Structure 1
Amino acid sequence: MTAGTTDPDGLTVDPAERRREQRGWYFYDFACSVYSTSVLTVFLGPYLTSVAKAAADAEGFVHPLGIPVRAGSLFAYAVSVSIVVAVLVMPLVGAAADRTGRKKPLLAASAYVGAAATTGMFFLGGERYLLGAFLLIVANASLSVSMVLYNAYLPQIAEPDERDTVSSRGWAFGYTSGALVLVLNLVVYSGHESFGLSQGMAVRICLASAGLWWGAFTLVPLRRLRDRRIPREHGEGAVGSGWKQLVATLRDMRRHPLTLSFLLAYLIYNDGVQTVISQASVFGSEELGLDQTTLITAVLLVQVLAVAGALGMGRMARSYGAKRTILGSLAVWTGILLAGYFLPADAPVFFYCLAAAIGLVLGGSQALSRSLFSHLVPRGKEAEYFSAYEMSDRGLSWLGPLVFGLAYQLTGSYRDAIISLVIFFAVGFVLLARVPVRRAVAAAGNPVPDRI
């Protein structure tokens, strides 16, 4: 076969060309993960909250579009809005990609809009909380849209039996870049005085540098990945068909109610996971009084232990089954939130212990959930079911930040806000425990593993 030859499903046939595309594909994770780690998890939450508080009235409220919002809730609300925007845009972008077969220009557009918005966070000085919320919404929505396009390349660059390996390597590339940039951020932030920078300027440089990193390394996948047009049925890929395909797939899932039951459980507990990650830095800085250096170091600890935790939970799954291992991780997540509620202020050692616990269950709970779902997908429908998995995941993940923001809005306490998230893990645990996974695998027409 010649380089670039594809089979009818769009998979690159030539092994050398496929490996070249895979290496390029890894680098988008390397490019964009610094946004999730440095911006969303570490710096932006506390900084945007401080900007909003500077602009707040005597009662501690800001008034975007005339709506009274407690300054401490602004970041959580903006995250929720960004996800709603992403969910509205993703089906349209997906349909355009399917119709034209040109995912790469759409990936470039979403990536560079997000990178530009992130770089623009350099200008978040004074009381510009509205600019900060707007840039967060644009950057976060752009990342979500770009990840849908990025994930859609996987079936075209990897054989079925190599997709787990390729996907895992991309995940590892992302964690590596996140840790590397956090180390650089720690140097800039901790030594800001020696660099002649104010603390706020150091934070803004760290925010903007994540956007520059995102944009620079996106050039690698854009050079290596290539578009291919796959023949489609008449009318497929028209604008609006993204939503139609999602609805059709969910209707098909009604024929596999046990698969649908697992998906519902996952959507609920994963929303809790994502909210803990995005709001942990706000909780640490505002409620526990921890400085930015402590938060950066804690997230670095999470990055390192997430890899070890995923490998360890994978070994546990081989012994006890994926379902039991996930249920155990949900119990740990609940314990983490309870511990966070009682965590004393100005006690970084205890916060590090909490970060270590998060790292040990973070990667494994998500990786095992994806692998367990793969057993529940009817053969021949992998792509559309995983598309629904991704779309539905994004579609519900606004709820956790909204609950967190409302809890703080009503109580003025981040401890009450963090404990409110227990409901996601408790409900997810109960729903998952009720799914007979062995019967679900058999009902999907797949061989039942010895341990599941």
Structure 2
Amino acid sequence: MTAVSSTIKVNDKKTINGWAIYDWANSAYFLVISTAIFPAYFLSNTPEIVSLLGMEMTNSSLYSYAVSFSYIVIVLLSPLLSGIADFGNKRMYFLKLFTIFGSLACIALYFFAGVGQMWLGVTAFILATIGCAGGIVFYNAYLPEIVTEDRFDAVSAKGYSFGYIGSVLLLVMILVLAMKPDWFGITSETLPYRIGFVMVGLWWIGFAQITFKRLPGSGLGKITKEMMSKGVGEIKGVYQKLKQQPNILRFLTSFFFYSAGVQTVIYLASAFGSKELGFDTINLITVILILQFLAMIGAYLFAQVSKRIGNKWALIIMNTIWIAICFAAFFVVSHMQFYVIAGFVGLVMGGIQSLSRSTYSKMVDENKEDLTSYFSFYDIVYKLSVVVGTFVFGLIEHLTSNMRYSILGLAIFFIIGILLLTTVKVKFKAA
């Protein structure tokens, strides 16, 4: 890896762009692997019924459990990694480490060509997920080091925008490869997507070199138990404080439930379209591209709605729409109906994620000395929601052998989320 300087200018444009380019690099995993291509590819290239530890389950249940397992590992690692990032000056070391094995895991998916390599595919997917989510801990930890607090929001938004543009650009490249394989002399049905997985890995580790070069390097000291325990101690400390702030705790509990529904839909919408409606991967990529575009519009739309009626009621409206989406998906039978539902998913997907974070920011604003710890706790809640949501989705399908009941079951998460939101107080001043 490229050596970096140990000193850095705060609010330096070159450094900020170097930081944001990592979003460009690793967002390709989230869009291509976890959302657009791999779920449907996995279902198409594995048997309908698989055996794991003596239990038989559908391949889509196995995929759901793989997501759950990945995030369990991430949840267990996050407090330890946060402590090292904040107190051990080892951010660059671990950012490189997680980037390397995450991107290599994406490249390894090239060898997942069918049933015979199913467990290779599962393992590589899990490692890629851990690599991506683990690296983000250290990537985010750089933000307060490279910019002043007044620029946090703007620079963070720049990273998100880089990530959106980069991931969509790569997905379009893979779409061209899949739609016109003859242009590239490809005759194998699976090869365009397997090349796509390699492209994700190379894109991720390749563009990350710019980040590695422009951000401060790691310290030379050893990693100690004290560093790792600091992160765990911070999470425990925030929880103790939250018990004295029941309003924030109620919001986080509400966020946990509706986020479980949201993130499960994001991870498994492609699998649902493939399995229940017979969408091919090319059509699913098109759906995801439309969804991404509408997510940007939705984030802006509900930001305007929140200015008029407040964050709380904007979130309640979006959760209500999510409930309607779950019921509509249970009855969907045609491709056009799925397109319409996906459009609504896009509108509320972008809005509910951005508004949840900004609402939490408003609620914890008075705890300025502990903001990093409060957001570390928020991140743990988010990751736990992925574990629970994807596990429940897989379990319902495992028990009923029908993915539609799994989608319907997600409505319960949103209903609980709304009930809890009604008890939350959020400051609001009409625009």
- TM-score, normalised relative to structure 2: 0.92
Superposition pairs for residues 365-384 of structure 1, below 5 Å? 365-377=352-364, 378-384=367-373
Confirm or deny that 1:200 pairs with 2:190: yes
1:22 CA drift (Å): 1.3
**For residues 349 and 114 of structure 2, what CA distance do their matches in structure 1 show?**
35
Confirm or deny that 1:79 pairs with 2:95: no
**For residues 9 and 200 of structure 2, what CA distance do their matches in structure 1 show?**
35
CA contact (8 A) 1:64 1:130 kept: no
Match of 1:46 among 32, 40, 44: 40
Match of 2:267 among 254, 278, 287: 278
Superposition pairs for residues 119-268 of structure 1, below 5 Å? 119-127=107-115, 128-194=117-183, 195-227=185-217, 237-268=226-257
Misfit runs of 4+, over 6 Å: none
1:350 CA drift (Å): 2.2
Match of 1:415 among 404, 410, 413: 404
1:186 CA drift (Å): 1.0
CA contact (8 A) 1:99 1:236 kept: no
- Larger RCO: 1 or 2 (CA < 8 Å, sep 6+): 2
1:367 CA drift (Å): 0.8
**For residues 243 and 67 of structure 1, what CA distance do their matches in structure 2 show?**
35
Paired residue for 2:17?
23
**For residues 83 and 261 of structure 1, what CA distance do their matches in structure 2 show?**
23
**For residues 150 and 335 of structure 1, what CA distance do their matches in structure 2 show?**
36
Paired residue for 2:29?
35
Amino acid of the structure 1 residue aligned with 2:160: W
Deviation per CA, 1:403-430: give whole Å up to 9, x if none.
Answer: 1111111111111111111111111111
Name the CA shift for 1:237/1:101 in 2 (closer, same or farther; >3 Å). Answer: farther
Deviation per CA, 1:142-191: give whole Å up to 9, x if none.
Answer: 11111111111122222222211111111111111121111111111112
1:97 CA drift (Å): 2.5
Match of 1:114 among 91, 99, 102: 102
**For residues 279 and 310 of structure 1, what CA distance do their matches in structure 2 show?**
21
**For residues 147 and 429 of structure 1, what CA distance do their matches in structure 2 show?**
29
Residue 102 of structure 2 aligns to a residue whose secondary structure is helix
CA contact (8 A) 2:295 2:349 kept: yes
Amino acid of the structure 2 residue aligned with 1:212: L
Name the CA shift for 1:411/1:5 in 2 (closer, same or farther; >3 Å). Answer: closer
1:92 CA drift (Å): 2.3
1:379 CA drift (Å): 2.9
CA contact (8 A) 1:80 1:401 kept: yes
Match of 1:358 among 342, 345, 349: 345
Name the CA shift for 1:364/1:66 in 2 (closer, same or farther; >3 Å). Answer: same
- TM-score, normalised relative to structure 1: 0.88
In the alignment, structure 1 segments of 5+ residues that lack a partner are: 7-11, 54-59, 230-234, 439-448
CA contact (8 A) 1:178 1:303 kept: no
